[in-house]
Amino acid sequence: MASVDHSAPPAPRVLAKISGATTIELPSSHLSRMSHSKEIADLILEASGRQP
C-alpha cells in the first residue's frame, strides 16, 4: 500500500484486510511498483514461497 497515494480510494486496504492478503506499506505515491521495485519484487517472491 502506498502511504501517500491520494488518488486511490481506501477500498484496496479494506479488501486486502478482508481477504487476509499480505501487504506492505511504502512511503510512495500511486506508482510504488516503479519507485520501490525491489520491495515489490521481494513481496511477490515471498508470496510465491521463494526467498527474496
Give dist(CA 34, CA 21) in Å, integer. 21
What sign for the dihedral angle of Cα 28, 31, 32, 35?
negative
Check residues 41 and 51 and name the one with the higher pLDDT.
41
pTM over 0.75, yes/no: no
Which has the higher per-residue pLDDT, 41 or 10?
41
> Would you say how long the chain is, in residues?
52
Contact 43, 22 (CB under 8 A): yes
Is 70 exceeded by the pLDDT of residue 8?
no
Q: Which three cell numbers stand for residue 52?
A: 527474496
